[in-house]
């Protein structure tokens, strides 16, 4: 679900863009500490939605009425970003763990119940064996190693495997493993999340490396009492802190190209 928070100070409604593995769960917990009349959670919207999706959405769930939630003239966004090399490593290990836990959940109804309790926001159907097969293919094709996953990200990027510049490109396209190319788990770069939207709204970008700035702004913008103005560490594995251990120079270059916008914007360095 997406969150919209009313700020009386700025006379605006702010939407949080939850870029995966940037401290988004901690921000969600902070938002949910606000008075219930100050924020709105939209159950028809997904959690990790892009600005494009939020600004233009009419609801993704068919059981909800078609309503445009975002006001192009007055609403704004805020988001959190992170060193992209660390984010990629953290994303890989976290997603691999979740996929493996999903497979365990398919083993029996007791495990399925435990999975639902641990991940209440995840859609899970114990009888959906087709999804189980898809998860098995994704793990086999793209999650054997971090390097395998990183290569699948490259192959799943638009125009990476279909733009022909030479005869070698033709061979590469025709022999590409469709599962590996199409099921690279949709790892969007940070630019995809908050730049490509139709509205002209302002976007406030806070870095995970300086969450103090976010807390200072949050306290002023939403009149948050000091005793609840803190971010707890959630879903922290500690792997991202040692991200350089997982890269070769060639692999680091992939992230440099994939995340060039946010690297230049913030000044991140490998």
| Full pLDDT tens readout for the chain, 270 residues | 788 999 988 888 999 999 999 999 999 999 998 888 888 887 667 788 888 888 876 545 555 555 677 888 888 899 999 999 999 999 999 989 888 988 888 888 888 888 888 877 677 788 888 888 888 888 888 888 999 888 877 665 544 444 445 556 555 655 555 434 434 446 788 888 887 666 566 889 999 999 989 998 999 899 988 888 888 776 666 676 789 999 999 999 999 988 998 999 999 999
SS3 of residue 90 by DSSP: helix
C-alpha span between 99 and 36 (Å, rounded): 33
Whether 178 and 167 have beta carbons less than 8 Å apart is answered as no
The two tokens of residue 185 are: 């788990």
Q: Where are the domains of the chain?
A: 2-83+189-239+260-266, 86-182
Q: Cβ atoms within 10 A of the Cβ of 196, count?
A: 11
Q: What is the largest CA-CA distance in the chain?
A: 63
C-alpha span between 192 and 51 (Å, rounded): 8
Q: Which residue has the tokens 């999650």?
A: 143
Whether 77 and 15 have beta carbons less than 8 Å apart is answered as yes
Strands (E), the chain: 2-7, 12-17, 39-42, 76-81, 203-207
SS3 of residue 55 by DSSP: helix
Q: How far is CA 216 from CA 156, 186, 206, 211, in A?
A: 38, 33, 11, 9
C-alpha span between 185 and 97 (Å, rounded): 13
C-alpha span between 180 and 157 (Å, rounded): 12
SS3 of residue 232 by DSSP: coil
């Amino acid at each position: 679900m997406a969150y919209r928070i009313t700020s009386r100070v700025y006379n605006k409604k702010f939407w949080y863009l939850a870029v995966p593995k940037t401290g988004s769960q901690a921000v969600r917990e902070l938002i949910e500490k606000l008075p219930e009349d100050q924020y709105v959670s939209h159950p028809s919207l997904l959690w990790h939605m892009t600005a494009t999706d939020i600004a233009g959405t009419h609801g993704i769930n068919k059981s909800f009425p078609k309503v445009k939630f975002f006001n192009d003239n007055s609403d704004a966004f805020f988001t959190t970003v992170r060193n992209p090399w660390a984010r990629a490593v953290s994303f890989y290990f976290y997603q691999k763990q979740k996929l493996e836990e999903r497979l365990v959940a398919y083993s029996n109804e007791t495990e399925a119940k435990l999975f639902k309790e641990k991940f209440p926001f995840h859609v899970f159907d114990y009888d959906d064996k087709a999804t189980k097969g898809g998860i098995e293919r994704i793990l086999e094709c793209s999650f054997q190693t971090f390097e395998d996953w990183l290569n699948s990200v490259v192959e799943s990027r638009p125009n990476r495997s279909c733009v022909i510049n030479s005869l070698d490109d033709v061979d590469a396209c025709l022999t590409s493993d469709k599962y590996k190319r199409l099921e690279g788990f949709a790892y969007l770069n940070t630019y995809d999340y908050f730049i490509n939207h139709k509205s002209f709204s302002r976007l406030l970008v806070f870095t995970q490396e300086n969450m103090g700035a976010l807390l200072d702004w949050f306290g002023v913008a939403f009149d948050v009492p000091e005793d609840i103005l803190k971010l707890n560490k959630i879903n922290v594995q500690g792997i991202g802190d040692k991200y350089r251990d997982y890269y070769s120079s060639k692999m680091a270059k992939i992230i440099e190209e994939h995340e060039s916008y946010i690297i230049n914007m913030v000044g991140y360095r490998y």
